[in-house]
Chain A
Amino acid sequence: MNFELVLNSGLGEIINSVEKKQNLYKENNFYKASLIGLKAAQNHILRYYQLASEMAEKEIDKNRKNELLEIAEISKKVSSEKPDTFYEACQLLWYISIIAQYESNASSLSLGRFDQYMYKFYKNDIDKGIDKKILKEILECLWIKTNDVVLIRSASSAKYFAGFPTGYTIAIGGLTENGRCAVNELSYLCLESYHDIKLPQPNLAVRINELIPREFLNLTVETIRLGTGIPQLFNDEVIVPGFLNRGVTLEDARNYAVVGCVELSIPGKTYGLHDIALFNLLKIMEISLKAYKDKINISFDDIIIHIKEEIKKYTALVAEGSNIVDIGHREYAPVPFLSALIDNCIENGKDITDGGAKYNFSGVQGIGEANLSDSLYALKKIVFEEKRITFKRLIEALENNYEGEEERKLRVRLINKYDKYGNDCDQVDEISSDILRYFDKELETYNNPRGGKFIPGAYTVSAHIPLGEAVGATPDGRKAREQLADGGLSPMVGRDRLGPSAVLKSVSKLDNYLTTNGSLLNIKFNPKTLDGADGIKKFGDFLLAFTKLKIQHIQFNIISRDVLIEAQKHPELNKGLVVRVAGYSAFFVELNKEIQDDIIARTEHVL
């Protein structure tokens, strides 16, 4: 949502502009509905004014009384006027955010580029001589508030998005409109203040690029070292060009932010429908292999061609299904309050669900590329090159879930004897690079009903566990129903053996310019790696190489395996332990056992 607009105009002025439109277009229901929502928002804020006033009257403690009076005064002011101070701006920001939550039970109302649009308020206060400590405290209060909201989810949704994520994602740093480094004093303060908080929210994200100041990079690494998985990093060097390829203007592309976990968006201008569908590439492979079981004289290339045909077929179905849901949103779940705060909706007289926003995407995640590469490479080697087993026999072993002595040996061979994705081996990496790219290009040919395009992503949130449950045994040695590789871009758990640089190299071979819906790479480091000033420097150097490799995203768990195992055994003693799950962090003890085990099993890079 366009927080900049709200903070620079104030609710009153926004209401005026919608009223003007409504007077011109009396039949337009969107304007009517928006006004109901906006005025209700004003009333809602005024109720806090009243409550705080009443509480202040009864309060005996003088300090608290003054605080309550200030709250009342600020609430009254921002219910219609634009804010002037940092405190007022934070207060209005939070009211608006909460009200939008009421409207749609939204899973992720992210705060966009907080350090950019809030900077002017921060700077004004500092120039007026207000103590930075006071501003830091206000900021920390806001950070704590972002942990208040717990979204009501269905049981299956809770499985796909484990650990109660609410996605108060904030992108800091990055580029200015004219392509310069956007890091400012408030960017530093956002990270510094998080050192006092260490909670799952806000989900801070640092936008990294070639211009990042070393001092800011070091602070980023020091924050990562806290071990909560925050901040995650996003790479401007690939994301900005990616957006240009989607028809986004240069200035808007430089202004991108992050929604929820890793969903990429142009803040205040986009309805991205980022999580409309997940596309299980490994399931497609399974279907394709089984269909060829009894065919004679097939080649490896035939199999790849067939997989692509199936991708094409199912992509059409995914697009069709997604569009049905999209239209359903328009008919049954419009969001007129939110829409009033997204660019072009007021001009167009349309809700975001009706195509009112400037940019309209539908995001579908291609999932399972690591297992796909590993499976097809092992299949190619064992069946077509080494000819150790016939294609039919291999498929039978998969159907039997590797039961039996010979099958057990086969499985061990498939796991151990053939190179795997994540080890910088071109022959392996190119398989999923080719297939994922095919899916990406196929998907982007479809249109959504809002006048926008479908765009691909490559992140799983925690869906690699339920999506794994839907797939039988695969030729990478994975047994039926076992999880898929985590993250989206990450190698299969335990299969990367050459260290983090090799992982990054493998990931960099995917066409990461295409996944403009977002992608996700998990890396786990032993805390020792980041010891001391030298550890910080080398980790920063590693991140600069990541930047040059044009990978969109990376995030870290910096907790030793022993700590996690201990926490699993004694949850009562480890309630405060925050870990990285997907594009978000959560309390470790609140995750179910499968996800806990998954995080423990991810390869820990230790040096």
Chain B
Amino acid sequence: MKGLIFNIQRYSIHDGGGIRTLIFFKGCPLHCPWCCNPESQKSIVEESKIKERCIKCSKCSHNTDDCPSGAITVFGKYMSVDELVKEAEKDMLFYNTSGGGVTLSGGEVLSQAEFAAELLGKLKQLGINTAVETSGEGSTENLLKIAKYTDLILFDLKIMNMDKARDILGADIQLIKKNLRALIQNNYNVIPRIPLIPGYTMDEKNIRDITDFVLSLGINKIHILPFHQYGEKKYEYINKEYSMKNIKPPSEKEINDIKEKLELKGLKVNIGGL
């Protein structure tokens, strides 16, 4: 079995504790307008041209191998569990000294659940700490299969209004809520995360809905991830329109206000991830 992976990022220090290797799965059922990895959305190998790299040869070959600069490139590569484990093992020493490990991210890990479970199982066998970042959009059965081999699940809560979640993100919020509940009921280690996206997730009602839901499950901590513009260039690479072009990241004051609100309700808040 192979998984479709679009990036492996080593020495990542804000995605689940310690020094970690991030494995990014390609393919996602959602289409959040602020997505910072737009190349992660489609479940196929995508061709792309990175203009900045192009050296303007007199005749373009339009071929990945022949392009000397790497401007003509593809996003996505099918990789086996063994190949990924080999990559993950490269930074074992760093995991050991820092309490780090491997984090699966996306795309949506749940969309390749069986592969993810196999990979996570193998990593656990080798004594590697595992984490998964998920939107929760996927079958409960698959989620629980993955959770079995995962030390920490970072679970996004974005838009709580059912209609907006469906129209803007393509998400089924009832399913997402059911999934988070299932994880808690089975005593898995979960931290919910709120992406702070101006115009989408930061309004008072949404934050209150998230807080109420989280508290009703007995969860006592939460991460908030302020919006950033790092993903902008990538929309160009895959020729996709970017609707968040001129949106400013939330100000420090806005972030702190939300943090305080959450803390008042008794939640332990972290900004930007572990």
Contacts and interface: CB of A to CB of B under 8 A. Distances in A.
A417 interface: yes
Contacts of A408: 55
B177 to A, nearest CB: 31
B43 interface: no
Interface in A532-548: 538, 541-542, 544-545, 548
B69 A412 contact: yes
Interface string B63-78: 0000011100000000
Given A412-B69, A416-B68, A417-B68, A607 B13 contact: yes
A541 B55 contact: no
Contacts of A505: 90-91
Contacts, number: 68
Chain B interface helix/strand/loop/mixed: loop
A605 B18 CA distance: 16
Contacts of A500: 11
A498 B18 contact: no
Contact of A412 (B68, B91, B100): B68
A499 B10 contact: yes
B58 A405 contact: yes
Interface string A474-487: 00000000000000
A501 B11 contact: yes
A409 B11 contact: no
Interface in B1-21: 9-14, 18-19
Nearest to A409: B68
A501 B68 contact: no
B94 interface: yes
Contact of A416 (B9, B57, B69): B69
A500 to B, nearest CB: 6
Contacts of B18: 538, 541
Interface residues of B, number: 24
B185 interface: no
A329 interface: no
A313 B66 CA distance: 40
Contacts of A593: none
A378 B85 CA distance: 27
A607 B93 contact: no
Contacts of B19: 501, 538, 541-542, 545
Contacts of B90: 424, 501-502, 505
B51 interface: no
A605 B91 CA distance: 16
Give me the 6 closest cross-chain CB pairs, A-B, nearest first.
Answer: A541-B98, A413-B68, A499-B11, A544-B97, A501-B11, A412-B68
Given A416-B53, A505-B90, 10 more contacts: A416-B70, A498-B10, A498-B11, A501-B94, A541-B19, A545-B93, A545-B96, A548-B93, A548-B96, A607-B14
28 contacts: A405-B58, A409-B55, A409-B68, A410-B68, A412-B55, A412-B69, A413-B69, A416-B68, A417-B68, A498-B11, A499-B10, A502-B11, A502-B90, A505-B90, A505-B91, A529-B13, A538-B13, A538-B18, A541-B94, A541-B97, A541-B100, A542-B94, A545-B98, A548-B93, A548-B97, A549-B93, A605-B11, A607-B11
Interface of B: 9-14, 18-19, 53, 55, 57-58, 68-70, 90-91, 93-94, 96-100
Interface of A: 405, 408-410, 412-413, 416-417, 424, 498-502, 505, 529, 538, 541-542, 544-545, 548-549, 605, 607
